[in-house]
Structure 1
Amino acid sequence: MDLEILDKKLKNKIFNLKNKNHISENDEYLLNPENNRLTVYPIQNELIWESYKKQQAAFWTAEEIDFSKDYDDFCKLSVNEQYFIKMILGFFSSSDTIININLSERFLNDVKIREAIITYTWQMMMESIHNETYSLQIDNIIKDKEEKDKLFNAVRELPCITEKIGWSIKWIESNDLFQYRLIAFAIVEGIFFSGSFCAIFWLKKRNIMPGLCNSNELISRDEGMHLQFAILLYSMIDNKLSEHEVHEMFKDAIRIESKFICESLPCALLGMNSELMKQYIQFVADRILVDLGYSKIYNVTNPFDFMESISIEGKTNFFESRPTQYQKASVLNKSRNTSFISNDDF
């Protein structure tokens, strides 16, 4: 068979998988089929490859988490505190699967840059590990079978979680351009996750449920890197969205997240209440907007002093707080001559 024909068939089979709702803008660098290739090297986008290697260096598994002390600590919490934690775990038990559906059905068919495709496949694996970890946590602390089943099916059983998941699915199924959907899932991993991460860090401040708190550090760090990857890809988009469009998407998500917070946290707890949490979500939204290149909406301060040690100024996202003993140093070792120099100008 003629090599040119074979190459064309391979590209059509591997890279041009499209569903009926798929819209691709070929003039965008990330989406242009002309940028397809089958090999990893030579690396053509060093920024994306560096993001992949950073995520790879942070690999961990659910088996590394010790949940043995969490059940006793959970039993000592008040009814309202237990309810708050259960709502958070109920959301998280479904959210990672939603992220993976978006990646597998949409983003992996959208992007044509090999480095980005590899990064997304790695992200899918990590989301599955997150899903497993939250499921183990629910299985560990919830002993009543009916209640456990309700949390495992929170997307159907709990209306405020249904709305968050529904917003995400709306964007998976959307016919809107890639840049809209890229912003939408930056919002999912930034806004919809941040309040719940904050709540678990609040538990860590009290030195309880060490398994949940340890896994939260790892998962929140991972999601921070996923968010930063979305921001990196958006910086490579030529036809960016207007500020008004982006602000409206953020406001809609904040409305949904605020509702979730109010229903999850109906009573004020020590150092934690729904108004402070809503302010924190607005603070996070402003930071993400600035990273995306847009102006703030809310102009509020961080209301939680215990999150200040987690927050890192600059381009590094505040989620990124990773115990150093988990770093895979050899992956990040740049002394080995394994990279290729790129002349691409972004």
Structure 2
Amino acid sequence: MTATRSTTDLTTAATEGPHMLLDPGMDLTLRPMRYPHFYDRFRDAIKNTWTVEEVDLHSDLKDLQRLSPAERHLVSRLVAFFATGDTIVSNNLVLNLYQHVNSPEGRLYLSRQLFEEAVHVQFYLTLLDTYVPDEQERHEAFAAVENIPSIKHKAEFCFRWIDSVFELRSLTTREDRRAFLLNLICFAAVIEGLFFYGAFAYVYFLRSRGLLNGLASGTNWVFRDESMHMAFAFDVVDVVRAEEPDLFDDDLTARIRQMLVEGVDAEAQFADDLLGQGVAGLSTADMRSYLEHVADRRMQRLGLPPIFGSANPLAFMELQDVQELSNFFERRVSAYQVGVTGAVDLDEDF
């Protein structure tokens, strides 16, 4: 069974039933399955199980001693962002997404995603413990959302969208459903699909220079998980669009566009912080162009016109041999499937 299916197939069962995906309630009936594609996503995610213990970060310790002061600043800021980024995503899953996706098979996937976010948090905790031996420095990294302006700005962006639907206990009006869609799109397209993709680019830049291969190895697996998280979220958007096309009007499009613009600006501010001391081979201008390129890809996946028209200036993101990385700039892999047989086909355009 593969994960590739057309939008028509995604919604066939949904349109035949009496309920829609965002209708209030907590449907518990798995048979007949109304959204089988969500179950396919859950099964494919199980195939991608990995553990933090498989990642050898100690091989990076010598590299850390070789870094220039500017590169050490980059790595310090990067791990500070990682320290809390996935925890924010987990909070939104629990507080907002799970209760409103009225599909038992969809909630199966969200449960699996929550587990994966917990593994990512463990990975970043281990990363900090390995990279930062000083306990006070580790405490400061976990408090980055309060004391590092560029990270605080990104966190406030996230919290604003979490808070925008936090009081909604059921999606009873069209505006409620639009608010939920904006939250879902924000976390898929901006937070996971832009903030984390920008962070991963720094990791792969360092690896392109032969540095921190342990970090890059673990990041490969996180990256694959994040790609699948986006795929599921965009599946949900596709289903809602098919069931309730009137929700997708010019106003929603304008709000999504503004969200992506603000997201690029926030991540570009983070890039200015990371690269402000002058990192040879990676400029803030190139990072902004890359972020704009990624944002345009998110808009296109949503069926919306691109905003920036920027090309990808980071050749290492296209050319580097990242074996575990799935479907980024049209890559396909089958790495790190454990405990099951079969193949994963993640062939959708991110």
Q: How far, CA to CA, are the matches of 2:206 and 2:215 in structure 1?
A: 9
Counterpart in the other structure of 2:21: 30
Paired residue for 1:52, among 28, 34, 42? 42
State whether structure 2 residue 113 is matched by structure 1 residue 123.
Answer: yes
Paired residue for 2:73, among 50, 64, 83? 83
The answer (yes or no) to whether the contact 1:221–1:322 under 8 Å persists in 2 is: no
Cα deviation 1:57-99 (Å, max 9, x = unaligned): 1111111111111111111111110110111111111011111
Paired residue for 1:181, among 180, 183, 188? 183
Paired residue for 2:228, among 215, 221, 225? 225
- Report the residue type matching 1:180 in the other structure: L
Q: How far, CA to CA, are the matches of 1:189 and 1:214 in structure 2?
A: 19
Q: Which runs of 4+ in 1 moved over 6 A?
A: 319-323
- Report the residue type matching 1:209 in the other structure: L
The answer (yes or no) to whether the contact 1:189–1:227 under 8 Å persists in 2 is: yes
Across the two proteins, how many residue pairs are aligned to each other?
304
The answer (yes or no) to whether the contact 2:299–2:305 under 8 Å persists in 1 is: yes
My pick for the range that moved more, 174-183 or 77-86, is 174-183
Cα deviation 1:141-199 (Å, max 9, x = unaligned): 11222222111221112111111111111111114521111111111111111111001
Counterpart in the other structure of 2:59: 69
Paired residue for 1:240, among 245, 248, 258? 248
Q: How far, CA to CA, are the matches of 1:329 and 1:144 in structure 2?
A: 38
Counterpart in the other structure of 1:300: 310
The answer (yes or no) to whether the contact 1:179–1:241 under 8 Å persists in 2 is: no
| CA RMSD, 1 decimal | 2.4
The answer (yes or no) to whether the contact 2:318–2:329 under 8 Å persists in 1 is: no
Q: Where do 1:1-346 residues align within 5 Å?
A: 29-33=20-24, 36-175=26-165, 177-186=179-188, 187-237=190-240, 238=244, 239-240=247-248, 242=250, 243-309=253-319, 317-318=327-328, 324-328=334-338, 330=340, 332=342
Could you tell me which runs of 5 or more consecutive residues in structure 1 were left unpaired when the two chains were aligned.
Answer: 1-26, 335-346
Q: Secondary structure at the match of 2:340?
A: helix
Distance 1:118-1:280 versus aligned 2 partners, 3 A rule: same
Look at both structures and tell me which one has the larger radius of gyration over its CA atoms. 1
Q: How far, CA to CA, are the matches of 1:214 and 1:278 in structure 2?
A: 25
Cα deviation 1:195-242 (Å, max 9, x = unaligned): 110010111212221210101111111111111211111111222253
TM-score, length of structure 1 as denominator length: 0.82
My pick for the range that moved more, 170-179 or 103-112, is 170-179
Distance 1:224-1:113 versus aligned 2 partners, 3 A rule: same
Distance 1:244-1:333 versus aligned 2 partners, 3 A rule: closer
Distance 1:266-1:276 versus aligned 2 partners, 3 A rule: same
Could you tell me which runs of 5 or more consecutive residues in structure 2 were left unpaired when the two chains were aligned.
Answer: 1-17, 166-175, 345-350
TM-score, length of structure 2 as denominator length: 0.81
> Offset at 1:268?
3.2
Could you tell me the percent identity over the aligned residues? 30
